[in-house]
C-alpha cells in the first residue's frame, strides 16, 4: 500500500522508517492535553482546505506516534501498541474524540475528521497483538 505522506511529516516519518517502523495509517489528530482551546475548536469544526493541521497520528505495527511538526524539530509522543489496553468513544464520538486507555491512565485523541477516528478505532480493535 502506497500512502501519501504529508510534506510536514516527511522528516519524522523518515526517522520512524530508519528505526524499522513503517507507517500503516496517518491521520490529522490532536492529543487533548497538548492542545490549546483554539486547536481543539478547529479540529472539532472539521477539515477544511485552508485549515491548519497542528499534529498528526501515525500508527505503525509497533506503536502509535503523535507528531507535532516544527521548523527545527518535531515533537513526538509515542505509545507502544502493547501498552494500549482499550480504545473507546467519548460521548459516542460526538466531538470526534476517542479515549486511549493505557493502564490506569487515559488520553483523549481528537480527530479532525470523524471518518479518520472511526478507521483508527477499527485499526486498534482489530490489531492481532491483543490476542498474542
Kindly tell me the burial class for residue 29, based on how many C-beta atoms sit within 10 Å of its own C-beta (0-12, 13-18, 19 or more). Answer: buried
Q: Does residue 81 fall inside a structural domain?
A: yes
Question: Which 3 state secondary structure label does DSSP give 83?
Answer: helix
pLDDT at 112: 87
Can you give the CATH number for the domain in which 121 is found?
Answer: 2.30.29.30
| Residues 42-98 pLDDT 10s | 776 765 544 678 889 999 999 999 999 888 788 899 999 999 999 999 887 777 889
Average pLDDT score over residue span 8-25:
92
Average pLDDT score over residue span 24-48:
80
Number of domains in the chain: 1
Kindly tell me the burial class for residue 58, based on how many C-beta atoms sit within 10 Å of its own C-beta (0-12, 13-18, 19 or more). Answer: buried
Q: Does residue 104 fall inside a structural domain?
A: yes
Supply the Cα-derived Rg of the chain in whole angstroms: 14
Kindly tell me the burial class for residue 59, based on how many C-beta atoms sit within 10 Å of its own C-beta (0-12, 13-18, 19 or more). Answer: buried
Q: Does residue 132 fall inside a structural domain?
A: no
What residues make up the domain containing 97? 7-127
Amino acid at each position: 500500500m502506497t500512502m501519501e505522506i504529508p510534506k510536514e511529516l516527511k522528516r519524522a516519518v523518515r526517522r520512524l522508517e530508519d528505526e524499522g517502523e513503517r507507517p500503516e495509517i496517518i491521520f490529522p489528530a490532536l492529543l487533548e492535553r497538548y492542545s490549546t482551546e483554539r486547536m481543539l475548536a478547529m479540529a472539532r469544526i472539521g477539515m477544511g482546505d485552508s485549515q491548519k493541521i497542528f499534529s498528526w497520528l501515525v500508527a505503525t505495527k509497533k506503536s502509535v506516534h503523535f507528531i507535532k511538526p516544527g521548523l527545527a524539530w518535531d515533537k513526538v509522543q509515542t505509545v507502544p501498541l502493547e501498552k494500549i489496553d482499550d480504545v473507546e468513544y467519548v460521548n459516542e464520538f460526538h466531538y470526534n474524540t476517542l479515549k486511549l486507555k493505557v493502564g490506569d491512565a487515559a488520553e483523549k485523541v481528537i480527530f479532525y475528521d470523524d471518518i479518520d477516528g472511526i478507521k483508527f478505532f477499527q485499526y486498534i480493535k482489530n490489531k492481532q497483538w491483543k490476542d498474542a
